[in-house]
Amino acid sequence: MARMPGEMPMKDRDELIAIRRDIHRHPETAFEEQRTSDIVAAKLREWGLDVHRGLARTGVVGTLKGRRPGQRAIGLRADMDALNLQELNQFAHRSSHDGKMHACGHDGHTTMLLGAARRLAADPDFAGTLYFIFQPAEEGQGGARVMMEEGLFDLFPCDAVYGMHNMPGMPAGQFAIRPGPLLAASDSWSMIFRGTGGHGAMPHRGTDPTMPAAAFITATQTIAGRNVAASDAAVVSVGHIQAGSAGSPNVIPAQVTVSGTARSYSPAVRDVIERRLGELGHSLAAAHGCTAEYEYQRRYPPLINAPEQTALAIRAAEQTVGRDRVDPDTAPLTGAEDFAFMLERKPGAYIFIGNGVDSEGGCHYVHTPHYDFNDEIISTGVAWWVNLVRQELGAP
């Protein structure tokens, strides 16, 4: 394929590819990224950074001061964890751990941020301080939140934070971002309807929780349709229903559990979903002589890019690959990402880098067993990080 922008010396490039494939071959899941964090810490020390370990168990933070004086400090963040998934690729660097796989490209994210640390340590021509934040457990476990709870921003006070994720199906090395909401809040909820249950032939002798449950499932769709403005977006989906026993279809169950997921892009819409699910569940239960027990669990918040930092991220991307290869107003996605926790606390921006389309071998979507991070974009990703630092901390 064509040489990617931001090309680096062959020796440096080969070292990064070797690191990426080594991490891919040894995937580690939430809070168990011991070997990966050993590699990250060793490399950062080798390149002269101060290294702090142990936040959220396996988190690593490398500190690099610029050659020029400056009070500003920014955090550059990558995730290190793999997924519980059986890899079906056959190449030499496929997973050597059964049932675990780097299927989201966090091996590549870690490598690109390492490459940026090496480059900036070799030429720290910036004013201020960089914190390279390598976090565990992005996938479902909120490693970013745990690092913050354990004092990340007290120990390493950042004025702004940045993150990057690869995007299969987007041409290799292109960038996409938008100011404002980019990824959705991801929440889970459950409603347990309780009645007396009874004999299926004599329902009038008891109360039947399948009635409010059925009405509730239909009514969940009125939240997006009737409570959220058409200009806002919301998704409420039922993913699990549990009641009764398959061997006893003539018994009305005493309990029906309905649970699902909810996605939204703003705190206000998120509040509406939580409130309306509760109102619907409780009122429908009461209407049928039953009770309802409701639980709403806020998992990941919406990921909201700050306008000023997004503009800097766009400028860095344009500097890296040219204006025509940067989409500055991409559509929001309904996926979620725990970097959103950091963006709740600090202004910052999160950008997508294309992992490649079909002909470039980067098209398998993340979280699928044939996915692989595209090594051809490592140098572009490193160049974006370096250009971002020049944008952020360039002026003395």
Closest to Zn ion by CB, 104 vs 351, is: 104
Residues 6+ apart with CB under 8 A from 224: 233, 234, 235, 236
- Which stretch in 100-108, 200-208, 261-269, 377-385 sits in contact with Zn ion by CB under 5 A? 100-108
Closest to Zn ion by CB, 30 vs 104, is: 104
* Residue at shortest CB range from Zn ion: 104
Buried b (16+ CB within 10 A) or exposed e, 228-265: beeeebbbbebeeeebbeeeeeeebbbbbbbbbbbbbb
Closest to Zn ion by CB, 131 vs 350, is: 350
Strand duo 198-199 + 60-65: pairing: unpaired
- Which stretch in 104-112, 146-154, 264-272, 376-384 sits in contact with Zn ion by CB under 5 A? 104-112
CA distance 64 to 75: 11
- Which stretch in 51-59, 101-109, 124-132, 185-193 sits in contact with Zn ion by CB under 5 A? 101-109
Residue of 44, 259, 74, 281 whose CA lies nearest to 157: 74
Closest to Zn ion by CB, 263 vs 276, is: 263
Closest to Zn ion by CB, 39 vs 104, is: 104
Element at 207 (helix H, strand E): none
Closest to Zn ion by CB, 13 vs 109, is: 109
Say whether residue 85 binds Zn ion (CB under 5 A).
no
Q: How far is the CB of 375 from Zn ion (least distance, A)?
A: 17
Q: How far is the CB of 336 from Zn ion (least distance, A)?
A: 9
Q: How many residues does the chain have?
A: 396
In degrees and rounded to multiples of 5, residue 59 shows phi and psi of -65, 145
Q: How far is the CB of 166 from Zn ion (least distance, A)?
A: 8
Say whether residue 104 binds Zn ion (CB under 5 A).
yes
Structure-block tokens of residue 13: 């490039």
Q: How far is the CB of 84 from Zn ion (least distance, A)?
A: 11
In degrees and rounded to multiples of 5, residue 29 shows phi and psi of -100, 180
Q: Which residues sit at the interface with Zn ion, rule CB under 5 A? A: 104
